[in-house]
């Protein structure tokens, strides 16, 4: 008696355009991947968006983070990451440019009182954006502790809906993969999402002289119904200043 072999799943859509069944493996969509597909398609199709890019010199920021870890996190085992610093800097920038901390609704534009920042975390089956709440009211140490907890629970699939629903602003960082520059799709209802590239040594020109600096490209994708070009540019300029000339008062609470 011959065992029957179940036919491999195929895509009718691919067959329709001439791709032969059996020439690929079809991985069924799970709930997370289907949700991502639906939300990103809806966002890209329905939200008028535009990108703005700025380059940031981060040598002073890297020195600041090193000193901060030595002086503030010494003995705790905690190491503040560059992404933690960027999250906190975004919260400060949003407080200084509150027009960018906003969402479009059919009833009007919502200006948010706090910076609830969603940080993209890659999982085996997709992407999730857990939210750090009221980052504008928290020190860099608190941001680092909460961020590590959220990322760990996201990868263990232990987030509650409260951990990833809502938010006012998003950050996606692909610098660790060597990506220099990219633009992300808006994560509704957030008015902006910041895409963070790799920090790398690049030639720069200052006062007619060529030098070398560690440079990171930041791209802000904006919902044009909420954030126009001038507001988006002011937010990026404010963020650039916070990152290029870091001050402890901007990263720790008084």
DSSP sequence for 213-236? EEEEEEEEEEETTT--HHHHHHHH
Q: Is 224 a catalytic residue?
A: yes
Q: Is 110 exposed, middle or buried (0-12, 13-18, 19+ CB in 10 A)?
A: middle
Here the contacts of 15-24 (C-beta below 8 Å, separation 24 or greater) are: none
Distance (Å, whole) CA 143 – CA 132: 8
Q: Looking at residue 184, what is its pLDDT?
A: 96
Q: Nearest Cα to 90, choosing from 55, 30, 125, 134?
A: 134
pLDDT in tens, 163-218: 989 999 999 999 999 999 999 999 999 999 999 999 999 999 988 999 999 999 99
Active-site position among 49, 112, 114, 224 = 224
* pLDDT averaged over every residue in the chain: 91
Q: Which fold has domain 50-249?
A: Chloramphenicol Acetyltransferase (3.30.559)
pLDDT in tens, 75-129: 667 899 999 999 999 999 999 999 999 999 999 999 999 999 999 998 887 788 9
Q: Looking at residue 33, what is its pLDDT?
A: 79
More confident residue, 123 or 224: 224
Distance (Å, whole) CA 240 – CA 254: 22
Listed by start position, the domains of the chain span 50-249
pLDDT in tens, 41-76: 999 999 999 999 999 999 999 999 999 998 876 666
Above 50 in pLDDT, residue 148?
Answer: yes
Q: Which two tokens stand for residue 13?
A: 């859509």
Distance (Å, whole) CA 110 – CA 99: 9
Contact 187, 15 (CB under 8 A): no
């Amino acid at each position: 008696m011959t065992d029957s072999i179940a036919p491999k799943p195929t895509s009718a859509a691919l067959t329709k355009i001439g791709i032969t069944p059996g020439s690929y493996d079809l991985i069924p969509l799970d709930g997370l991947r289907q949700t991502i597909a639906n939300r990103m398609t809806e966002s890209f199709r329905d939200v008028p968006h535009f990108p703005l890019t700025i380059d940031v010199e981060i040598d002073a920021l890297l020195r600041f983070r090193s000193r901060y870890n030595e002086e503030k996190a010494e003995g705790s085992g905690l190491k503040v990451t560059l992404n933690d610093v960027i999250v906190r800097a975004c919260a400060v920038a949003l407080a200084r440019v509150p027009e960018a901390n906003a969402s479009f609704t059919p009833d009007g534009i919502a200006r948010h009182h706090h910076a609830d920042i969603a940080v993209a975390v890659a999982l085996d089956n997709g992407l999730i954006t857990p939210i750090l709440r009221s980052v504008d009211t928290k020190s860099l140490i608190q941001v680092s502790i909460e961020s590590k907890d959220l990322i760990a629970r996201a990868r263990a699939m232990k987030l509650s809906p409260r951990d990833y629903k809502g938010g006012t602003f998003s950050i996606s960082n692909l610098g660790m993969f060597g990506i220099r520059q990219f633009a992300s799709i808006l994560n509704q209802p957030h008015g902006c999402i910041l895409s963070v590239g790799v920090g790398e040594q690049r030639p720069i020109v200052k006062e007619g002289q060529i030098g070398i600096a560690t440079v990171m490209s930041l791209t802000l994708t904006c919902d044009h119904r909420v954030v126009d070009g001038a507001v988006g540019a002011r937010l990026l300029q404010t963020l650039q200043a916070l990152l290029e000339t870091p001050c402890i008062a901007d990263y720790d609470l008084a």
